[in-house]
């Protein structure tokens, strides 16, 4: 029996998000393997995926209804409690949920999943007090195995840390959480397409939301026939609203928020998903959109071409004119839309949380020896 311990860190940092979505989907599946015992220490957490209701947790586990102004506060408070628990707990492998540095214990193995190198690529956008870069590097070098969520992320890791680490890296892709919803008919099989361009997630710096606004403004066809809908992220700020007003599109940009099922319905109704990010470690929205029959236009940077392959239309993220052309071409060509939708369905089948869990399970067995 292999006993795998997961720490609290990601769950104390994210209410929603790619990292805790990954660990929620992974841990639920790993707990189903007959020769794996899951020890999940969620601690004080703010996460909304409900993993603590589906999996038996150990030690301190209590949901708190707020996000501290400084997120690392609950992490800092809980680390010594978790370390005390860890030292007296019988486990074989610690799979860290983020980059906290834990003391190496005799006869215990450590695995770390590296999701991206956003901090390293864009350090100026983070506080000088942010220790992510330092902690990540230390965690990677101390780990017995490193999971990278794409070849793009693996290449970043080798570029930043050196090729000598390649022997302990395993690339394991994310899956698609909408698979189960579709099987159980919780998301409508058919949905009438509406005249909106969907943007999913946060809109700050490297997410490059402005290029979509610029492309939209340049096109009379888009302005007259479509609007932009933003799902998730924070509500529009005053600065954003002023920007929309100055661009003359205040009534053409809308914001909505909801649960995962709501997001699925938005994908189904959207005419297109635009994902203009300068940098992603994986890019889950591409897979989600493709699986739900939404054509995708995405940046040609980092992991996105790796994930989308020929099922996505690409553009240079600095080039709003190129994005405008892609949008106009796609949205005026029904045969192209159908072609991209069908390619998307096929490409999305490649990504599965069951596959992710199975490959991770094999890695656990290999590391455990």
183 and 282 inside one domain? yes
Looking at the structure, tell me whether residues 160 and 205 fall in a common domain.
Answer: no
* Claim to verify: residue 6 and residue 27 sit in the same structural domain: yes
Do 34 and 126 fall within a single domain?
yes
Quote the pLDDT of residue 109.
97
- The closest alpha carbon to 295, from 261, 247, 322, 329, belongs to 329
Number of domains in the chain: 2
Same domain, 318 and 357: no
Please list the pLDDT of the chain residue by residue as tens digits (369 residues): 999 999 999 998 887 788 999 999 999 999 999 999 999 999 888 888 888 888 889 988 888 776 655 566 677 788 999 999 999 999 999 999 999 999 899 999 999 999 999 999 999 988 888 899 999 999 999 999 999 999 999 999 999 999 999 999 999 999 998 887 776 666 666 678 999 999 999 998 999 999 999 999 999 999 999 999 999 999 999 999 999 999 999 999 999 998 888 999 999 999 999 999 999 999 999 999 999 999 999 999 999 999 999 999 999 999 999 999 999 999 999 999 999 999 999 999 999 999 999 999 999 999 998
Res 13: pLDDT = 85
Residues 341, 356, single domain; the answer is no
What are the CA-CA distances from residue 177 to residues 182, 292, 293 (Å)?
A: 9, 11, 15
131 and 214 belong to one structural domain: no
Residue 67, pLDDT score = 60
CATH of the domain at 64: 3.40.50.2000
Report CA torsion sign: 268, 286, 262, 229: negative
Domain encompassing residue 131: 2-175+352-368
Which residues neighbour 256 within 8 Å (Cβ) at sequence distance 6 or greater?
229, 230, 231, 262, 266
Chain mean position to CA 257: 17
Q: Are residues 85 and 140 in the same domain?
A: yes
Residues 6+ apart with CB under 8 A from 196: 226, 227, 228, 229, 254, 269, 270, 271
Regarding whether 133 and 204 lie in a shared domain, the answer is no
- Same domain? For 202 and 243 the reply is yes
Phi (first) and psi of residue 210, to 5 degrees: -60, -35
CA–CA distance, 273 with 227 (Å, rounded to integer): 12
35 and 152 housed in the same domain: yes
The burial of 31, by beta-carbon neighbours within 10 Å (0-12 exposed, 13-18 middle, 19 or more buried), is given as middle
Do 256 and 129 lie in a common domain? no
**Whole-number pLDDT of residue 70:** 54
């Amino acid at each position: 029996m292999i006993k795998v311990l997961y720490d609290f860190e990601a769950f104390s940092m994210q209410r929603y998000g790619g990292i805790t979505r990954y660990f929620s989907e992974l841990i639920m599946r790993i707990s189903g393997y007959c020769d794996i015992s899951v020890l999940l220490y969620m601690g004080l957490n703010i996460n909304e995926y409900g993993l603590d209701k589906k999996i038996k947790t150990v030690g301190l586990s209590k949901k708190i209804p707020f996000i501290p102004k400084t997120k690392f506060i609950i992490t800092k408070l809980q680390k010594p409690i978790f370390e005390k628990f860890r030292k007296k707990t019988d486990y074989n492998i610690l799979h860290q949920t983020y980059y906290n540095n834990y003391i190496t214990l005799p006869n215990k193995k450590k695995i770390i999943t590296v999701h991206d190198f956003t901090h390293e690529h864009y350090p100026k956008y983070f506080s000088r007090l942010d220790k992510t870069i330092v902690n990540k590097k230390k965690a990677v070098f101390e780990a017995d195995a490193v999971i990278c969520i794409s070849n793009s992320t693996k290449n970043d890791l080798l570029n930043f840390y050196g090729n000598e680490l390649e022997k302990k890296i395993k690339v394991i892709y994310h899956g698609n959480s909408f698979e189960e919803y579709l099987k159980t008919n919780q998301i409508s099989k058919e949905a009438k397409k509406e005249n909106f361009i969907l943007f999913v997630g946060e809109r700050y710096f490297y997410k490059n939301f402005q290029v979509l606004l610029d492309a939209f403004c340049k096109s009379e066809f888009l302005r007259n026939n479509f609007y932009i809908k933003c799902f998730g992220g924070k509500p529009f700020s005053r600065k954003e609203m002023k920007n929309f007003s100055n661009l003359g599109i205040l009534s053409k940009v809308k914001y909505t928020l909801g649960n995962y099922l709501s997001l699925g319905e938005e994908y189904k109704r959207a005419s297109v998903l635009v994902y203009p990010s300068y940098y992603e470690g994986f890019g889950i929205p591409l897979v989600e959109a493709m699986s739900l029959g939404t054509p995708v236009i995405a940046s040609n940077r980092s992991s996105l071409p790796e994930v989308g392959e020929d099922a996505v239309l690409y553009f240079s993220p600095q080039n709003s004119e190129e994005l405008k052309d892609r949008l106009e071409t796609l949205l005026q060509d029904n045969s192209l839309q159908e072609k991209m939708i069908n390619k998307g369905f096929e490409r999305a089948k490649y990504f599965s949380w069951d596959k992710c869990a199975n490959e991770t399970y094999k890695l656990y067995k290999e590391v455990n020896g």
